[in-house]
Amino acid sequence: MNVLNGIITEIRSNEGISLVKVKSNTFTFSSIVLDTPETVNYLVKDNVVQIIFKETEVIIAKDLNLAISIQNQIPCRIASLKKGIILSQINLVIQDSDQSIQSIITTNACEQLDLKENDKVLALIKTNEVSLSAHD
Amino acid sequence: MIQIDAYKMLQTADGELPLAISLTIEKGQFVAIYGNSGAGKTTILRILSGLTDAEKVNIKVGESIWDDSEKKVHLPVQKRSIGFVFQDFALFPNLTVKENLEFALSKNDSKEIVEELIDLMELQSLQNSKPQNLSGGQKQRVALARAIVRKPEILLLDEPLSALDDDMRFKLQDYILKIHQKYQLTTLMISHSIAEIFKLSDQVIVLDKGKIIKEGTPATVFSEQKISSKFQLTGEIISITKSDVVYIVQISSGNNIVKVIATEEDAKEYRIGQKVLVASKAFNPIIQVLI
């Protein structure tokens, strides 16, 4: 589980759904939740929250300039790789920060992209894969 | 409102353990008591019912004082407006179901309540049977009905369903909820099942080594942090298996077993038997219509 701390910078709500921007160090995440500031008390601008997303939902791109719908495109450096037969775990460090996140992709994909340590990549996470949790 | 303050030294397998609790319960609430064996759960119910003495105890139910150890006030068991059902609560073997219920009536009580309970608990076809001819679930249904015959203010349930299979448990839970609501009882139930606590109770108290370590609604007590994910279930880890570079964690929740992928780092934090919250975003699950 990838868990990062962040600060809510923007909330846009309509009919029960909110698009929330959360800044964590150098990167601002977008998350979509089925809540609004009226239904939960943690959805407040400047509030500290946890940003949570699963490793298996982190897509890796080598091309750093993508015309793609995915909103969370995080520039990262590959710190290390752990290759399995079917799946591989890629340990990433977010650019200009010391925050690490993990991605799990198929070993096939890892080989097709020829991923290596210190490669600069984009970690891509769809807005609807990012959960938020009230910070305790 | 029920106010309980109690202190009692418990003798346990690991030596002495002080039970020290202070608890306020609103009238009409359904309160679950959750915790490890030997934490003092049953002792709390026994102190409240007057079956067990405590070194220091103060119990106030509404305006009446049931216990005040300083003033040497101790209302005897039979004068407390309480019904209780324990896991192995015995029925009178030589009396029929109906006679078991009637036996619980006070001298001047009308028998109407017995008929009403036989209807409510759907015991019509069993009312003339002896306990030996009833299944475990049927016996507990009779025991529940019998606990209500005197229309108590408070119902105490000490793991009444733990010996029953899942189907029977779910049915009995519905009966418990029905009588709790119909007779406007204040109910305290000891349970080890988080699913059961979620289904039945308004409040839950977590007891550990004689102390209340958490209390609140089941949702706040059992989900450490409020996560935005809308697809959630609570359960217990039943296995953790390495698979390639990841781990597969199996979680049992009610009648279901689900599997969740975890990284090695996360899997290290998990152990079998741990109670967990499984969450996913509302965007992922697929709905398929059955039948």
Band of the pLDDT at B263, cuts 50, 70, 90?
A: very high
Kindly report the number of other CB atoms within 10 A of residue B220's CB atom. Answer: 14
- Chain B residue numbers with beta carbons less than 8 Å from the beta carbon of A82 are 245
Answer whether A106 touches B (CB < 8 Å). Answer: no
- Give the Cα separation of B239 and B272 in Å (integer): 6
Residues B145, B102 contacting (CB under 8 angstroms) = no
Question: What is the mean predicted confidence (pLDDT) over B26-52?
Answer: 92
- Chain B residue numbers with beta carbons less than 8 Å from the beta carbon of A33 are 228
pLDDT at B226: 63
pLDDT at B152: 92
Segment 177-206 of chain B within 8 Å of chain A by CB: none
Kindly report the number of other CB atoms within 10 A of residue A55's CB atom. Answer: 22
Q: Which two tokens stand for residue A76?
A: 């990262």
pLDDT at B42: 92
pLDDT at B167: 80
Question: What is the mean predicted confidence (pLDDT) over B124-152?
Answer: 91
- Torsion angle defined by CA atoms of residues B235, B276, B45 and B62, in that order, rounded to the nearest 10 degrees: -100
Answer whether A109 touches B (CB < 8 Å). Answer: no
Band of the pLDDT at B13, cuts 50, 70, 90?
A: confident
* Structural domains in chain A plus CATH codes: 2-134 (2.40.50.100)
Cross-strand partners of A8: A22
Answer whether A56 touches B (CB < 8 Å). Answer: yes
Residues B280, B231 contacting (CB under 8 angstroms) = yes
Within chain B, where are the H helices? 41-49, 97-103, 112-120, 136-148, 166-182, 194-200, 218-222, 264-267
Q: What is the ipTM of this complex?
A: 0.81
- Give the Cα separation of B265 and B241 in Å (integer): 13
Mean pLDDT of chain A: 94
Is the full-model pTM beyond 0.95? no
Mean pLDDT of chain B: 89
* Structural domains in chain B plus CATH codes: 2-222 (3.40.50.300), 231-280 (2.40.50.100)
State which residue of chain A sits closest to B283, comparing Cα positions: A128
pLDDT at B44: 94
